[in-house]
Amino acid sequence: MRHVFFVLALLCTALSAGIFYSFSTIVMPGLDLGGAASAVNAMHGINTIVRSPLFAIVFFGALVLPLLAALGSRSAGHRGAARLAGLAALIYAAAVIGVTLQVNVPLNETLASFTVAGTDANAANWKEFAGPWALWNHVRTLGAILALLCLLGAWAVDLTSVNRRSYGLR
């Protein structure tokens, strides 16, 4: 069962990393090109649609599933794999979920108060919003990628430790 947890954890974490990477490299730069009023309107829509069960499964699955994989590895005696999977969950919790809840969500709530009318006000509001939001999204991107790499390492260690008790990172 732990291998199923590893595969699902890898899938959720890779999808999460891809979402944040796409925002860093495509979405935010693209919104900047469209002008402030268009960007504010588009982000209003994005912030509405992101609250979906499918996104929640990926976003929170990338935290819960590595923990389940870690427990499975630990119970199989593969301590090194368990440590790496636990580290993946810790990195994801801090760099992705923590940053999202402490920085990006409050910025999104501030953005929700911006109106689409008044391009001068929107230009200043958008600039004030987009810079910090994008910077912290880069942190989420790197965190999700690091968590993914830890998970890949954990699964490799787990697979190479089959039928052996592992007390190190073997």
The answer to whether the beta carbons of residues 95 and 143 sit under 8 Å apart is yes
Classify residue 111: in a domain, yes or no.
Answer: yes
Concatenate the DSSP letters of all residues of 64-76 into one string: HHHHHHHHHHHHT
Instruction: Using the predicted structure, report yes or no on whether residue 165 has a pLDDT greater than 80.
Output: no
Residue 114, token pair as written in the block: 């911006």
Number of domains in the chain: 1
Mean pLDDT, residues 104-129: 84
Torsion of the alpha carbons at 46, 41, 104 and 145, rounded to the nearest 10: 50
pLDDT at site 124: 83
Classify residue 167: in a domain, yes or no.
Answer: no
Instruction: Using the predicted structure, report yes or no on whether residue 116 has a pLDDT greater than 70.
Output: no
Query: 142 to each of 14, 81, 91, 117, 139, how far by Cα in Å?
Result: 12, 21, 10, 35, 5
When the pLDDT of each residue in the chain is averaged and rounded to a whole number, the result is: 92
Domain that holds residue 9: 2-160
- Specify the pTM: 0.91
Classify residue 109: in a domain, yes or no.
Answer: yes
Classify residue 168: in a domain, yes or no.
Answer: no
Residue 145, token pair as written in the block: 């990628």
Classify residue 170: in a domain, yes or no.
Answer: no
pLDDT at site 166: 47
Mean pLDDT, residues 70-89: 97
pLDDT at site 169: 53
Instruction: Using the predicted structure, report yes or no on whether residue 81 has a pLDDT greater than 90.
Output: yes
pLDDT at site 20: 98
Query: 27 to each of 21, 67, 89, how far by Cα in Å?
Result: 9, 31, 26
Classify residue 58: in a domain, yes or no.
Answer: yes
The stretches of the chain forming alpha helices (DSSP H) are 2-22, 28-33, 36-49, 53-75, 79-92, 99, 105-112, 119-160
pLDDT at site 118: 59
pLDDT in tens, 15-42: 999 999 999 999 999 999 988 888 999 9
Classify residue 169: in a domain, yes or no.
Answer: no
C-alpha to C-alpha distance for 45 and 145, rounded to whole angstroms: 26
pLDDT at site 162: 61
Classify residue 80: in a domain, yes or no.
Answer: yes
pLDDT band at 119 (very low <50, low <70, confident <90, very high): low
Mean pLDDT, residues 106-132: 84
The answer to whether the beta carbons of residues 83 and 134 sit under 8 Å apart is no
Instruction: Using the predicted structure, report yes or no on whether residue 144 has a pLDDT greater than 90.
Output: yes
Q: Which residue has the higher pLDDT, 120 or 92?
A: 92
Q: List phi, psi (to 5°) of 167.
A: -105, -5
